[in-house]
Amino acid sequence: MNPKREESRSVLERAQEALRRADPEAVAARSGAELEGRDGEAVLVLRLLDQTLHMTHPRLQVTRADGKPCPAWQTHLLTYYLSLADGTQPAGTWVALRDLADGMFYQRAYQGYSGDELVRRFGNDLEPLRKACRALAGEALNTGDAGYRFRVLPRVWLAVVYWLGEDAIPPSARVLFDAAIRHYLPTDSCAALGGWLARRIVKQWAIDQRLGDLPEAGKPGPVDEPCQG
């Protein structure tokens, strides 16, 4: 038996129970989600970066806008987010994963699948990174050689900061969190979310590459990005 996994399962079960007992109107107000009704059941609607997700209440079933189910990690992410949300506004300051509770436990692995993942793809070429970030509604920040912030959930902001390499110094990147994230997600979910954002930027780069290979007249409209981790 893995104690860490058992602890995570217990925390998730408590979050699920708390969310089922909560008033969905209060949950929507604290989290920034929209509240809809469907077949006599409350539905919390919110954005995960560029995806629209629906969670039924109290069943806690999560689907994307077309009704198809989402991966388990996204269901767990929304469960934590909606159960912990307390309405705290963004702090306007950025923190690393290691600055969060127990963050040092995850930091080394997290850097490998977040900032280092971006460096493996973009190296010293900033323009495709900028293009991919803008396509995901990233807002430019005046930090590093390139920086963007993303509203990943209604009250959760993440930032990507990128530094070019020179001489013997390689390029580097970090995926950071607005300090208010402590009011919305546990640290392991923060790590999962930051890694997903890095992969999503790389995936957007691949989409841009494919579109760039098409004749202008043959370019399709907006891409319906699947709800994947």
- Reported as a single tens digit per residue, the pLDDT across 104-133 is 999 999 999 999 999 999 999 999 999 999
pLDDT band at 3 (very low <50, low <70, confident <90, very high): low
- pLDDT value, residue 66: 92
pLDDT at site 109: 98
Choose among 82, 81, 90, 75: nearest CA to 27.
82
Token output for 164: 């070019």
Model pLDDT, residue 8: 61
Structure tokens at 91: 């702090």
| Residue 85, C-beta contacts closer than 8 angstroms, at least 6 positions apart | 27, 30, 31, 32, 155, 183, 184
Mean pLDDT is lowest, of 45-49, 124-128, 211-215, for 211-215
Q: Where are the domains of the chain?
A: 3-84, 94-215
Q: What's the residue count for the chain?
A: 229
Percent of the chain exceeding pLDDT 90 equals 83
pLDDT tens-digit map of 194-211: 999 999 999 999 999 888
In this predicted model, what pLDDT tens digit does every residue of 165-185 receive, in sequence order? 998 999 999 999 999 999 999
Nearest to 138 by CA among 119, 118, 159: 159
